[in-house]
């Protein structure tokens, strides 16, 4: 369906923007947005972000998209699991706001 294709394009665009935001907000000098896979884990063995990085990223996301993540650690682990899960969270919460 055409609506599905448009939604997929919007999701892909948001994922590209998030990759750029991650690199810029966290000053990842040795990483380019193209180096980040949308399914790659952001924390731990994947991209290797730590809790301070996630906090900085959360603030950048709030400034850029007006979306806040909660203080629930288990939810944040899921939200910040990958670029794709983060994009889905932003899309869902922008629609609510």
Helix %, strand %, coil % of the chain (to 5): 65, 0, 35
Q: What is the pLDDT, as a whole number, of residue 2?
A: 58
Domains and CATH numbers, the chain: 2-96 (1.10.1200.10)
Model confidence at 7, pLDDT cuts 50, 70, 90, reads: confident
Distance CA 8, CA 86 (A): 15
Average pLDDT of the residues of the chain: 90
pTM over 0.85: yes
| Beta pairing partners, 43 | 49
Averaged over 79-85, what is the pLDDT? Answer: 95
Q: What is the pLDDT, as a whole number, of residue 44?
A: 86
- Residue with more model confidence, 2 or 51: 51
């Amino acid at each position: 369906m055409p609506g599905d294709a448009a939604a997929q394009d919007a999701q892909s665009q948001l994922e590209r923007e998030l990759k750029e935001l991650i690199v810029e907000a966290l000053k990842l000098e040795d990483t380019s947005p193209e180096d980040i896979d949308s399914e790659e884990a952001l924390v731990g063995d994947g991209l290797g972000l730590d809790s301070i990085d996630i906090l900085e990223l959360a603030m950048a996301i709030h400034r850029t998209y007006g979306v806040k993540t909660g203080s629930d650690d288990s939810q944040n682990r899921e939200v910040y699991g990958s670029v794709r899960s983060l994009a889905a969270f932003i899309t869902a919460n922008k629609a609510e706001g």
